[in-house]
Amino acid sequence: MGRVHEEVEASQRTEPARFGVALILITLSIFGVAFSDLHGWIRVLSLLAEGAALLFILRMSERGLVLRVARIAVVLAVGAALVSIALGTSTGPTLATTTVGALMAIAAPIAIVRRLSREEVVNVQVLAGAMCLYLLIGLFFTFVYKTIDVLNDKPLFVQTTSASTTDITYFSYVTLTTVGYGDFTAAQDGVKMLAVTEALFGQLYLVSAVALVVSQFGRGRARPILSKDAGQATVASEAEPVTDAPPEGTPSPEAPADP
């Protein structure tokens, strides 16, 4: 039984939180997605950046079947892209890059939230994890805009009839940060409302989630502790351990006088 218990613990053990590295990989993936329209080895490099970011994030949070499926998907996508380049076609790399990028935009935020929920102290890694989620919001909307552009015959933007992936990625993050340069504006009513939704998500996330993380920086997370006497759960913080000592300033009881 002891050996089985150790094997179960080993299978559930995750990598240390290194969201700073994940933040760099996500940034490289954003550039990879932006230039995924390019042919040849540039597209393969973009695919490798996306796959590395996805697997690194999942490795910090997930174990077992989820991680194995992600590894297989990335390997198959890279293999399909290499074969397509060797055959001189562009459909394979485009489909592979889109598939891995969509997986990262959907699966990576879930994995990050799961890992952040297990962190006991709000530190630099937790702050970096919150910023990773912010960048992934923009990446998610990038794929939504790209999907609309592919499925709809109408132009996505007023200024051009053929939007590149670079244009769509640029528009998504300009909208997320509410910069609003105005060089690209949505041409369809649905895309306009989608842009409004992304802008609201971006601003509300910064003023709520990120602000909350910054305000709690350096503090431990509160967790329930079961009382042995009353059998009731009380909440205590990691930064403020529970002790049996009386509060400071409370007079100690006098010892009984000798007869």
**Is there a contact between 136 and 64 (Cβ–Cβ < 8 Å)?**
no
pLDDT value for 134: 94
Which two three-digit tokens encode residue 157?
Answer: 């933007």
Cα–Cα distance, 35 to 19 (Å, whole number): 24
Cα–Cα distance, 236 to 33 (Å, whole number): 44
pLDDT value for 137: 93
pLDDT value for 103: 78
Cα–Cα distance, 233 to 227 (Å, whole number): 6
**Distance in Å from the first CA to the final CA of the chain:** 59
Per-residue pLDDT of the chain (259 residues; tens, 9 = 90+): 455 444 444 444 556 778 888 899 899 888 888 887 766 677 777 778 888 888 888 888 766 676 777 777 777 777 776 777 666 665 556 666 677 777 778 888 888 888 888 888 888 988 999 999 999 999 999 989 988 888 888 889 988 888 888 999 999 999 999 887 888 999 989 999 999 999 999 999 988 888 888 888 777 765 555 445 544 545 444 444 444 555 555 555 555 555 4
pLDDT value for 248: 56
Cα–Cα distance, 193 to 173 (Å, whole number): 16
**Is there a contact between 186 and 193 (Cβ–Cβ < 8 Å)?**
no
Q: Where are the domains of the chain?
A: 10-215
**Is there a contact between 97 and 46 (Cβ–Cβ < 8 Å)?**
yes
pTM of the model: 0.74
Residue 89 has a CB neighbour count (10 Å cut-off) of 12
CA dihedral 160, 164, 166, 168 (to 10 degrees): 70
From 111, 84, 113, 112, select the one nearest 97 (Cα to Cα): 84
